[in-house]
Amino acid sequence: MSTDLEILQLHEWFETGGKPLVIAGPCSAESEEQLITTAREIAKVPQVNVLRAGVWKPRTRPGEFEGVGTKGLKWLEMAKAETGLKTTVEVAKPEHIELALKHNIDILWLGARTVVNPFSVQEIAEALKGIDIPVMIKNPLNPDLKLWLGAIERINAAGINKVMAIHRGFHYFGSSQFRNAPMWEIPIELKRLVPKLPIIVDPSHICGNRQLIEEISQKALDLEMDGLMIESHYRPDEALTDAAQQLSPNILAQLLDKLKIRETKGDILFQDKLEKLRTEVDKLDVELLQILAKRLEIIDEIGQYKNENDITILQMKRWVGIIEDRLSIGKELGLEEQFLKRILNIIHRESIQRQTDIFKRRG
C-alpha cells in the first residue's frame, strides 16, 4: 500500500511546546451552563490545548439524544472567547462545515460512523475545497486500515494538509475489556505508511469506562502517538451521552499529571544505546533468516533423497524425537515452552510443504 499524501507535521501548525496535543471536553454539548462550566474548569488544566464537544450526535437508534445542533456551536464560540481554548466539533455533512466555520471553530473532526462511508467522506471533502482548516479523521468502526487511509486521502486531496488521525478503537465481536478494541498494530501501521501524519488517541471511546483511561493514555504516549482526546464533563454521571466514560475536569487534571512523557527525542545517550541494541537485533534477524534458509535447503535435499528411495515424507517417530530434543534445548536457553512449540510447528509445516512440492514435481 503506497500513499501520496502532502501532510504537515503537527508542530508546523500547532504549538504545544513539544508536548502531546491534548483535546478535552464533553461528548456532547448539552446546555450553555454545562458547556461553559465544563470549559472553564478544563481551561484550568494546563495540559489541555483544545475544547471538544459534539453538537450533532450520530446515535445508534432514533429517539436518543441527537445533539443540540447549531446552538451548541454558539456555546463553543462563547467558551472559546472566555477561555482562549481552541475548539473542535464533529461534522458529518457539508452544511455542518459551513455552520462550524460561521462559529469560528478551529478544528473539525470526522466521526467513526462517517468514515465507514466513502460517499459521505467524499461529500465532506468536496465541501472543504478552498478552506484552510485542520481536519481530524477518526478510524472507521471496523478494523479496516484501507478505509481509514482512504478517508485521509480524500480529505487531503481536497487541499487540507493539516490532517490528523484519531485512533478511537475498533468494533470487535469477541469479548474484550474495551468498548472498542485498541488493535494498536493498525495505528502503528498507519504511522509507518504515513510517518508525518499526527495520530491522536481517544482513550475514552476505546475504554468505554473511566478505569482504563489512564492505562490507555500512557500506552498511547509510550507508542509515540501525538496526542490525546479525552471526554470530560463537569457532571459526568449526568451526561446525556457516554456517561460511563467521561471524567470530571478534576480527575482529568490528575490523570494528565500522572502521565509520563518519556523523552526519546533529544536524549542522545538513550537514543545511542537504543540504536546500538536495534543494530544488534537487525544483525541477529539476518542470521536467523540465513539459518532458516540453510535449514530449508537441507530439507529439500532430504526430500529429494526420500523421493528417490520411495520413503514417505513424514516419519512420525523422527518428528516426535525432534520436538523432545529441541524443547529441552530451548528450555535450557530460557525460552517458553508454548513459544517453542509454535515456532517448531511452523518450521515443520514449511518443511513438509516443501517436501510435498518436491514429491509432486517428481511424481
Looking at residues 129 to 148 of the shown chain, list those that interact with ligand PEP (rule: CB under 6 A): 138
Give the single-character DSSP code of 244.
G
Residue 112's binding partner out of ligand PEP, Mn ion, none, with CB under 5 to 8 Å set by partner kind:
ligand PEP
For ligand PEP, which is the closer residue by CB, 107 or 340?
Answer: 107
Segment interacting with ligand PEP, rule: CB under 6 A, options 12-20, 73-81, 109-117, 348-356: 109-117
Q: Which of 39, 242, 256, 340 binds Mn ion (CB under 5 A)?
A: 242
Shortest Å distance, C-beta 274 to ligand PEP: 34
Shortest Å distance, C-beta 217 to ligand PEP: 16
Shortest Å distance, C-beta 153 to ligand PEP: 19
For ligand PEP, which is the closer residue by CB, 103 or 205?
Answer: 205
Does residue number 168 form part of the binding site for ligand PEP (CB under 6 A)? yes
Does residue number 54 form part of the binding site for ligand PEP (CB under 6 A)? yes
Dihedral, CA of residue 5, residue 112, residue 138 and residue 71, to nearest 10: 110
Does residue number 27 form part of the binding site for ligand PEP (CB under 6 A)? yes
Cα(51)–Cα(75) distance, rounded to whole angstroms? 11
Shortest Å distance, C-beta 54 to ligand PEP: 5
Shortest Å distance, C-beta 202 to Mn ion: 9
Q: Which of 111, 187, 203, 303 binds ligand PEP (CB under 6 A)?
A: 111
Ranked by CB distance to ligand PEP, the top (closest) residue is: 111
Shortest Å distance, C-beta 161 to ligand PEP: 23
Segment interacting with ligand PEP, rule: CB under 6 A, options 80-88, 110-118, 214-222, 338-346: 110-118
Shortest Å distance, C-beta 117 to ligand PEP: 12
Q: Residue 63: left if φ>0, alpha if ψ -120 to 50, beta else—which one?
A: left
HSE, CB side, 13 Å, CA atoms: give it for residue 66.
7
For ligand PEP, which is the closer residue by CB, 52 or 103?
Answer: 52
For ligand PEP, which is the closer residue by CB, 111 or 227?
Answer: 111
Segment interacting with ligand PEP, rule: CB under 6 A, options 37-45, 60-68, 105-113, 268-276: 105-113
Cell of 14: 500547532
Question: What angle is formed at CA 307 by the lines to CA 301 and CA 312, rounded to 5 degrees?
Answer: 105
Segment interacting with ligand PEP, rule: CB under 6 A, options 106-114, 124-132, 253-261, 286-294: 106-114
Site string for ligand PEP, 237-276 (x = CB under 6 A): ----------------------------------------
Shortest Å distance, C-beta 78 to Mn ion: 22
Shortest Å distance, C-beta 144 to ligand PEP: 15
Single-letter code of the amino acid located at 301: E
Q: Are 228 and 183 in contact (CB under 8 A)?
A: no
Looking at residues 4 to 43 of the shown chain, list those that interact with Mn ion (rule: CB under 5 A): 27
Give the single-character DSSP code of 8.
-
Cell of 196: 508525518
For residue 35, the cross-strand partners are none
Single-letter code of the amino acid located at 24: A
Q: Which residues bind ligand PEP (CB under 6 A)?
A: 27, 54, 111-113, 138, 168, 205
Q: Which residues bind Mn ion (CB under 5 A)?
A: 27, 242
